[in-house]
Structure 1
Amino acid sequence: MVLLARKDEEGNTQTLYDHLHGAGRLASGFEDEFADISRTAAVLHDVGKVAQQFQTYLLSDDGHRGDVQHARQGAFVVNDFFESKGEIEEIAKEILELAISKHHGGLPDCIDESGNRAFLLGFTESDKSNEKYAYQEIKRGLNGLALDLQSNFRGSAEDIACFLKKIKSLGMSKDSIYFYLGLLVKLIYSRLVDADRTDAACFETRKQYRPNTVDWQNLISRLDKSMRSFDSSSEINRIRHQINEQCCLAGARETGIYRLSIPTGGGKTLASLNFALHHALKTGKHRIIYVIPYLSITTQTAKTFRDVLGLNADSDVLLEHYSTAGMQRSADVADNASSEFEDAGEHQRKLAAERWDNPIIVTTMVEFLETVMSARGTKLRKFHNMADSVIIFDEIQSLPMNTINLFNEIVSFLSKITNSTILLCSATQPLLEKTKRENLLLSEKPDLIAETESYEDKLRRTRIVASTENKSCDELGQIIYQQARKDGNCLAIVNLKKEAREIFQCLERLDVIMSLS
């Protein structure tokens, strides 16, 4: 009997053998590190579909999605067949059990409110003999799937051994080691979820999976051409050029965590992009992820990148992923095209945002933190695509105080464990490494540009004079109006929306009065 994994709306079927091995190839091939344990999770994640009750459900068109449970059985196989020889094997087993049993939905809490290991105790003989799992039937059907369990288990243990050796060499605290283990669970889970869903999508579309590739040298040439067209006659532009050249040379550095401190007006955005492109080319990174704290400058940054790299709005080189991304495009499509085209385009955009497989991604700090700290499969699916990347954090001084330790752990894990380079950008660098836990693992010489103080005076374009008088909104409005009439414009910044509204209403009244006089 041929075991099936799924059936599409037209009645075409995918065999379970093809799905498990296809997902296994994808999961192991996404990144070089942790290939074996990722493959093991993938080839076992759907073995619950061996059960006759699932095969009947699939072919009969009766019942509802989720009626027949098929996820936990793969974890039972790990629990039964993975021989424990010590700490390494136990950690590998627990990671596999977590990822496989919860590959639909999200990762669970492993410890309950009383401190008991609630989830990982759910692999008793009583659990395995529950009729709804049909586990004995599934064990008998494993031979026909050619899963090579012992070889996969050995490779999984070797992956964990390498991981433990690496984190112990970093001299981290016990708390940080536990945090890294939690992130490793999410990394393996991410690869499994992405492999499972990608293989299913390939079956449905009848297309072979091909990862996004990029010619970094071509993008560097485009950026160079754009930079050469900029005016270099002013002193400020000459300074920007010097900073840009230094960042270009810094791209030859090894993978690590670096800082880029450039005074306001020094061209930090393009300088950091130049570093990222040259570093990606030099070190073989897969993508560049640009993380910005404010929505107000996220769209502007994405537009700048498209302009200097010569990318049109439909180019799949750059993905914008934040709450307002794609809104204008969706509106344009709705006005000018059929609903069928709109659905296809929107589906493609959402898929790209879920996977983060594009060469350049512009996103927000909120989206970044939600991804790495989420338990949901839809959010975590893209986590593994942060590996082997250049991740730039702009305006890092705006990082909330209560997230500093969390942030330090995450970016250090991404750099030391997943081979990503982190760049912290700011005009005024916060002392993130000075926490009590000392958990930001900066590179030995972390600053891309040393002694930037000489640029500060030359780049200063504002003079701040503190007022000693309290002003009402109406009084401030009159000052703004007079200054705007004198100079042609005036920028005013206030703390509250209410204050901004009152000042705006004052300006409207003054404008009416002036027009009548």
Structure 2
Amino acid sequence: MNYMGHSPSRERNDGVWQSLKAHVEGVTTLLRQHARFFNHPNADLDAQWLGFMHDLGKYRLEFQRHRLQWEPMTGKEDRTLAVKPCPHSDAGAKALYVALGGQRQHSGELAFAVANHHGALRDIGALTGRLDSTTEAEVDDLLEAACQDIPAFDALFQTPPQLTGLTGAARTLYTRMLLGALVDADRLDTEEHGSPSRAQARKDAHAAQGSMAQLLAKLTGHQVNLAALDAANPKPINALRRDMYTQALGKADLPPGFFRLTMPTGGGKTLTSLGFALRHAAHHAATDENPGMRRVIYGVPFTTIIEQTAQEFRGVLGDINVLEHHSNLEFKERLETDAPQAPDPLRLATENWDAPVIVTTTVQLFQETLFGNRTAQLRKLHNVAGSVIVLDEAQSLPTHRLTPILEALRELVAHYHVSVVFCTATQPALDDFPSQQSAVELIDEPAHYFRELQRVDYELSRVNDPVSAAALGAELRQDVNERVLCIVNTKKLAHEVYQSLGDAPHHFHLSTNMCPHHRREVLKVIRERLHNKQPCRVIATQLVEAGVDVDFPRVYRALGPLEAIVQAAGRCNREGKLQDEYGNHVRGLVTVFRPEEHKLPPGDYRVRTDLANKYLSEQSDLHAPGTFTPYFRELFLHVETDQKIRLDSGHHATVAQLQDEMDFETVARKFQMIEDNTVPVIVRQYAPEEINELLRRILNARESWQVRDEWRKLQRYTVQVLRRDIQTLDLHVVSELKARAERLGTEPPELYEWPTKYRYDPKFGLDTGGMDALVY
């Protein structure tokens, strides 16, 4: 008989079918390439079994006739047969279950991957249901047909699959890795047949992208140019930056593992960490003979700074080498075949992270990838193997999920050719966790550089003196420094302080109640005024603290977590250029104050703030990196690092317990990096013409990729609103747009539209009627 894997390509329009044999062999070859980076003894054998078994159900005559409209006995297309859904992944899962001796608890890795490669990872109970839907007698018949069609099947049965013996986090990560590798191999082989333009775009991108060594050479050239510019007008701060950069790269030849980059704000941490990662990956580069390292994944905690980081990297390494990917407006699944024209290769690389440098958020890296369960999420997971993961602002990793995050990182380092770099000025005490091996510090005596780069003084005497919003506004108006930044903990307080300050052309407000485009436009004006040394008073929430490049001579910071106060200080005299009236270099001033309405949410943020109050009252040295080790140790004693999840049954369980039970669905649904989840809201009132044009393009789109691209462009005009506030704000789903996307085979993300009855203020953004959620 002639069995087919896929019907003729719409793009080729040549009537040529892809045989099932060709598809199975193609997927198996790709899978074995992916599994090279899995440091497990049976990884190659597991890849072969997955490749051969993943479409075993397609040997059913019902599938050939009623799903593909193909008659295997005659070898001809038969359009007279009605198309109807026909399952095919359950058969391969059952075959693997039988091959592994019928032990459901121990056949999970392979059976889960095959059963769910067109869906999402469920729990062990769901797998049982899939296995029971196919009898062993039917499996025998399908295996007989497969062996007749593909002679290599017989050879494979000479080496049966082996039980891994893995448990807990190791087992669930290996299962996700196998599924992700299978999904990507299946999609790539299908794309080669059905959408050759997409396949060619990927090949062209590979040809244009640089190796780790080539990208390191680009960065080295950039650093040489910076040094030449500095030689013409030397600055002490640049010499210190070069010294730290050289030290970090000097340790790049060390074996893979965990590393710490402890650098003061303004020390050049971004390019230093990139330089170490590129050199480390180049030294341990993957070859055709041996797996090793092949990319850098740069994780940042906030979407507000990801574009800035990606832009900086692109400026040094080139656009084709840097992929920017984050979670806002993320699509749940993509079509196997898509546009009849070659799309942008970087957009394609978003599907499976096949690019040299990935700049992403920690939410995308952990919540959506390492702990996700949908195939679109997991498709990129196998490309995390063989990478250097740089975690910028490592202190921002959520305390309530720190234990499972560190366990996942430990597994990546131990079994997937990964190194991890924790970057921050305020290192959390991660070495204390039982799952962690000791991290190597990349900077010798970091305390020396913190002292040398001390560009601010802290005023801590007002920590216990509550100040009202009105008094604070009056003080900011009277401050002789007309360029001043005030950072508070809540949107509500930012609004109140700004109103007390008084509206003026040189007064600015920044919070996440403003859409990204609005914030960027305001920051552009702020930077211009700072550059020209014009009056500029800014009231902001924490969004300016990490990675936002502004430089004020005077900063006020509301009492908050210790590390947040230090981050705020990084916006003060950032370049060390501040001078008095006589031209002498002086330090900036950071005042820490207690708001009269010191309202904080319960949990991690409140505990951190209470601990900060204790350390500040003791006049702890915020310029000493050693201050933060006992601070974080106390924090980890007060906050659960694997916080229990409330289950639908009413019981509670930790992520570790759920992973022991192989409950992938619950982990994916409940693993939230930010405890109070948000949803994106389109704000049509901010830029009606631009937004209406984007919406029009979506409604008129003919291909799913066009819908996806326009949805992403809408992101700049959205605001993240807490899910709990949706009900009170009477928001409505953008039903027409969702319907259009679904008709094109693309499931859109959850999205809402800001009702016209609510204002969008040109200063404050959304008028939420007093919403006071903490900004993360």
TM-aligned CA deviation for residue 31 of structure 1: 4.0
- Whether the aligned pair in 2 keeps the contact of 1:290 and 1:392 (CA below 8 Å) is yes
| 1:497 matched to 2:491 | yes
Unaligned 5+ runs, structure 1: 112-117, 168-176, 327-339
Which letter does structure 2 place at the counterpart of 1:42? G
Structure-2 change in CA distance of 1:226 and 1:325 (3 Å): farther
CA distance in 2, matches of 1:139, 1:323: 41
- Structure 1 residue 214, shift from structure 2 partner: 2.8
Q: Is the 8 A contact 1:217 1:281 kept in 2?
A: yes
Alignment of 1:481-496 (within 5 A): 481-483=477-479, 486-496=480-490
Aligned equivalents of 1:153, 1:240: Cα separation in 2? 59
| Paired residues of 1:293 and 1:366 also in contact (CA < 8 A) | yes
Question: How high is the sequence identity, in percent, across the aligned residues?
Answer: 30
For 1:165-188, what per-residue CA distance to the aligned partner results, in whole angstroms no more than 9, with x for missing partners? xx8xxxxxxxxx422011111111
Please say if 1:50 is aligned against 2:64: no
TM-score (norm 1): 0.81
Q: Relative to 1, partners in 2 of residues 1:377 and 1:154: Cα closer, same or farther, differing over 3 Å?
A: farther
Tell whether the 8 Å contact from 2:52 to 2:153 is kept in structure 1 after alignment: no
| 1:113-512 alignment runs, 5 A limit | 119-120=127-128, 123=131, 127-128=134-135, 135=139, 137-146=141-150, 148-149=152-153, 151-152=155-156, 157=161, 177-206=167-196, 207=199, 210=203, 212=206, 214-230=210-226, 231=230, 233-284=234-285, 285-309=293-317, 311=318, 315-323=319-327, 345=343, 349-369=346-366, 370-435=368-433, 438-442=434-438, 446-466=440-460, 467=462, 469-483=465-479, 486-509=480-503
Farther-moved stretch of structure 1 (413-422 vs 459-468): 459-468
- 1:141-160 per-position Cα deviation (integer Å, ceiling 9, x unaligned): 122232634654666746x6
Judge conservation of contact 1:396–1:426 (CA < 8 Å) in 2.
yes
CA positional deviation for 1:129: 6.6
CA distance in 2, matches of 1:96, 1:142: 19
| Counterpart residue type for residue 95 of structure 1 | E
Report Cα offsets for 1:43-70 as digits up to 9, x if no partner: 21112111111111212455556x1111
Structure-2 separation of matches of 1:354 and 1:498 = 38
Of Structure 1 and Structure 2, which has the larger fraction of its residues in strand? 2
Q: Given the superposition, is the C-alpha separation of residues 189 and 243 from structure 1 closer, same or farther in structure 2, using an over 3 Å criterion? A: same
Contact 2:100–2:161 (CA under 8 A) maintained in structure 1: no
- What CA RMSD, in Å, does the superposition of the two structures yield over aligned residues? 3.0
Cα deviation, residue 345, structure 1 = 4.4
In 1, Cα distance between equivalents of 2:375 and 2:236: 51
Distance in 1 separating the partners of 2:139 and 2:329: 46
Q: Where does structure 2 lack aligned partners over 5 or more consecutive residues?
A: 70-77, 286-292, 331-338, 508-776
Counterpart contact for 2:299–2:361, Cα < 8 Å: yes
User: Contact conserved, 2:211 with 2:356, CA < 8 A, in 1?
Assistant: no
Which protein, 1 or 2, shows the higher relative CO under an 8 Å CA cutoff with sep ≥ 6?
Answer: 1
Shift of 1:268: 1.0
Task: Return 465-474 or 411-420, whichever deviates more.
Answer: 465-474
Paired position in structure 1 for 2:538: none
Indicate the residue corresponding to 2:29 in structure 1.
Answer: 25
Amino acid aligned to 1:266: G
Shift of the alpha carbon at 1:110? 0.8
* Distance of 1:205 and 1:512 partners within structure 2: 54
SS at match of 1:214: coil
Task: Identify if the C-alpha distance between structure 1 residues 147 and 430 changes in structure 2 by more than 3 Å, giving closer, same or farther.
Answer: farther
Cα distance in 2 for partners of 1:453, 1:153 equals 60
Pair 479,147 (structure 1): closer, same or farther in 2 beyond 3 Å? farther
- Opposite residue 225 of structure 1, the aligned amino acid is G
Q: Which residue in the other structure is 2:680 paired with?
A: none
CA distance in 1, matches of 2:143, 2:329: 47
**Count of aligned residue pairs for this structure pair:** 460
1:96 shift after superposition: 1.7
Q: TM-score, normalised by structure 2?
A: 0.55
* 1:83–1:428 distance in 2 versus 1, CA, 3 Å: closer
**Larger deviation: 350-359 or 415-424?**
350-359
State the Cα distance separating 1:365 from its structure 2 match.
Answer: 0.6
What's the offset of the Cα at 1:293? 0.6
Q: Report the alpha carbon displacement of residue 261 of structure 1 after superposing the two structures with TM.
A: 1.0
